[in-house]
Amino acid sequence: MIFKVLIVGLLPYDSGKTTLAMGLIAGLRRLGYKITPFKPISAHNWYTQYNATIVGMKYGIPLSEDIIKLVEAAEVNERFEILNPVDSVTAPLNPGAFWDWHSPSSFYTYASNFFRQVLVSRISFILSDNRIVNYGFLNKFSIEKRLIIFQPEVLSRITRKLSKIEQVEKISFLAEILASNSMPAIEHSLDYLKNKYRVVAIESFNDAAWPLPRNESVDVVVAVAPGQALIYDPEKYKLAVFLREHVMKPYKGAVLCDIFDLIKPIERIEVPPVSYGILPDSIADKLDRLVGIVSDKIEKKNQK
């Protein structure tokens, strides 16, 4: 019987989701559970997260830094595209180009808009025969106007194994493509993983409250901020998410600050600091209480 853990961030950035997920995954793996990570949607900057870029160049597709770390913790042998079906590669803005186009004030407008900073997005579908199709979408406008900084050789190497690449003329089109195609890709990947693993540890994107299809369910929700993790009842949590989306954000998914005052956590767990580069098993040692709580919930579900 499949058990799904959803790990979400209480803050838009640097909540500590990936570090906590690494420790939880490693801890459950050591207890003998067949566990896999799942990062439905991700984004990374090719320049500031260059280690992920190096791996992406090796495999020929855009890959997030988070899924690379989570795979190490889980010690699984799966195609990255299945574990991370949607990934966007962003690039640093080119400040001088905004002067070249006589619009220096637009630099800060672009800096506050995620899609304007995208270099390429990948959406991967696993088909019924387990073949994978990778689609790439290039931000043609920002690339041609040189509004973002990138190296053509790097772009060529991280896209060389994409099945099809489309140049998207308008930023709004890119947002629409991701909005309409991400959930089917996520659903296909998750269905594959549910049939193969006992536990799926799902890490959300930034502070998105629900990175899954609406008809999906989870067995426990862990929300994290630096220093503390909160455990939520999964049914009450999902109800709060969709109530808030229906009332306040019918066209945009809820984030944690939208629901924080609607549902009280059932557990609070202290999360100690960890040093950079620490091994997943060492993180698991520091998160033994969280690992124990989740393990108990897995066993209780087994007994039903």
Give DSSP secondary structure letters for 185-232. HHHHHHHHHHTT-SEEEEE-STTBS--S-TT---SEEEEEETTEEEEE
DSSP structure class, residue 10 = S
| Dist. CA 73–CA 274, nearest whole Å | 15
Residue with tokens 């672009």: 110
| Dist. CA 234–CA 269, nearest whole Å | 17
What per-residue confidence (pLDDT) applies to 252? 63
Q: Which pTM value belongs to this model?
A: 0.95
Count other Cβ atoms within 10 Å, centred on residue 47: 17
What per-residue confidence (pLDDT) applies to 64? 95
| Dist. CA 97–CA 293, nearest whole Å | 52
What per-residue confidence (pLDDT) applies to 250? 45
What per-residue confidence (pLDDT) applies to 1? 87
What per-residue confidence (pLDDT) applies to 259? 94
Instruction: Tell me the average confidence (pLDDT) per consecutive run of 10 residues in the chain, 304 residues long.
Output: 97 96 98 98 97 97 97 97 98 97 95 96 96 97 96 98 96 92 97 98 97 96 98 97 73 85 97 93 97 97 84
What per-residue confidence (pLDDT) applies to 251? 45
Q: What are phi and psi of 171, to 5 degrees?
A: -60, -40
